[in-house]
């Protein structure tokens, strides 16, 4: 459907891009919405996406083909040490980018020990502030460590790998509710698309559909599978092959809601859950491979 071309937004200074604390804010402020370039994708390494088991919360690790790393959320506070151990197991001792989708404690709590213990080049935020102790502790730790902290803009691209497109489809500007303010990301490598919904609800889905192409092979389901997200209309537009539900067993919120699970399965979508294990996915841009599964060709 999209062939071997990848649409990627770059500025020339980023062609030899290297992320570091001193320059992070400068270039992030310069990459909002410029006309994209078309680039031929040569044979490259795989992109690895891990939907981490963090209990009742969200945390997603992406290792780009060029080795750059992005952690999206960190689950609740107690998940921080678990994530650090997982990073060490993968040979990661530094994070290039952390994305905090919104200030709920089950998304940023685990980032507190991670920021304290691990070098981080840049933190991207939705722009939504909050009055909780967790949020203020998180922000204070970032300031103490001197880590650049930048609020993303809707439509902006995040440059980490010249062969991977990472676009922001929603941010927290002018949003009243934390979940509405969730950063939503679309990550594209070759023919493989990942749509990461944070805790975005049905209203946010509706707004995104009016502005962006949401078709994706892998959908990280919004708000842990809550009934407030993942509408019938949205599923039909995304048309994912795989859906990931991130939640903890026996959680008090009833996540995931059975109506959402049934809706996904009714569309023939393969559903994976993080309540018992981390879900590992690799892609070379032509196929996606799930841990303990075979090679899955993209049906495009």
Q: What is the pLDDT of residues 220-258, one digit of tens each?
A: 998 878 888 999 999 999 999 999 999 988 888 777 989
Reply yes or no: is the peptide bond before residue 263 cis, omega within 30 of 0: no
Maximal CA-CA distance, the chain: 50
pLDDT in tens, 164-189: 999 999 987 666 666 577 899 999 99
Residue 14: the pLDDT is 29
Reply yes or no on whether the pLDDT at 139 is more than 50.
Answer: yes
What are φ and ψ of residue 93, in 5° steps? -120, 10
Q: What is the percent of the chain where pLDDT is above 90?
A: 66
- DSSP label of 67: S
Q: Answer whether residue 49 shows pLDDT above 90.
A: yes
Task: Give me the half-sphere count of Cα atoms (radius 13 Å) on the Cβ side of residue 269.
Answer: 29
Contact 255, 226 (CB under 8 A): yes
CB 234 within 8 A of CB 260: no
Mean pLDDT, the chain, integer: 83
51: nearest Cα among 269, 283, 244: 244
For the chain, strand residue ranges (E) read 5-8, 37-40, 47-51, 60-63, 69-72, 95-100, 120-125, 149-151, 164-170, 184-189, 192-196, 218-220, 242-245, 270-273, 279-283, 287-290, 295-297
Which tokens go with 33?
């919405």
What is the C-alpha separation between 105 and 98, in angstroms, rounded? 15
At residue 141, the 3 state secondary structure works out as helix
Q: Determine the Cα–Cα distance for residues 60 and 183; give it in Å rounded to an integer.
A: 13
DSSP state of 139: H
* CATH number, span 19-38+46-287: 3.60.15.10
**Beta bridge mates, 150:** 124
How is residue 293 written in tokens?
């599964």
Residues 67-121 pLDDT 10s: 999 999 999 999 999 999 999 999 999 999 999 999 889 899 999 999 999 999 9
- Rounded Cα–Cα distance for residues 216 and 69 (Å): 21
pLDDT of residue 12: 28
pLDDT at residue 43 greater than cutoff 80:
no
- Asked if 69 contacts 96 with a C-beta cutoff of 8 angstroms, the reply is yes
- Given the structure tokens 């937004």, which residue do they identify? 9
The first and second tokens of residue 117, run together, are: 């213990």
pTM: 0.83
């Amino acid at each position: 459907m999209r062939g071997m071309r990848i649409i990627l937004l770059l500025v020339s200074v980023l062609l030899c891009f290297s992320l570091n604390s001193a320059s992070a804010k400068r270039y992030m402020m310069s990459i909002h919405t410029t006309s994209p370039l078309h680039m031929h994708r040569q044979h490259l390494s795989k992109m690895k996406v891990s939907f981490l088991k963090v209990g009742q919360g969200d945390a997603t690790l992406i290792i780009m083909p060029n080795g750059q790393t992005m952690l999206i959320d960190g689950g609740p506070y107690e998940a921080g040490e678990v994530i650090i151990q997982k990073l060490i197991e993968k040979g990661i001792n530094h994070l290039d980018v952390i994305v905090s989708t919104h200030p709920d404690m089950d998304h940023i709590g685990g980032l507190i020990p991670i920021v304290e213990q691990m070098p981080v080049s840049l933190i991207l935020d939705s722009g939504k502030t909050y009055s909780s102790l967790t949020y203020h502790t998180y922000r204070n730790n970032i300031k103490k460590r001197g880590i650049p902290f930048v609020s993303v803009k809707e439509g902006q691209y995040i440059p980490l790998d010249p062969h991977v497109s990472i676009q922001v489809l929603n941010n927290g500007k002018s949003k009243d509710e934390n979940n509405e303010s969730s950063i939503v990301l679309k990550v594209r490598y070759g023919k493989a698309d990942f749509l990461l919904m944070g805790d975005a609800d049905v209203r946010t889905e509706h707004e995104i559909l009016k502005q962006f192409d949401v078709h994706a092979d892998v959908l990280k389901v919004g708000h842990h599978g809550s009934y407030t997200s993942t509408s019938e209309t949205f599923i039909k537009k995304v048309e994912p092959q795989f859906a990931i539900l991130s939640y903890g067993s026996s959680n008090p919120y009833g996540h995931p809601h059975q109506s959402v699970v049934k809706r996904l399965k009714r569309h023939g979508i393969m559903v994976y859950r993080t309540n018992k294990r981390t879900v590992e996915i690799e892609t070379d841009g032509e196929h996606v491979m799930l841990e303990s599964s075979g090679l899955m060709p993209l049906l495009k």
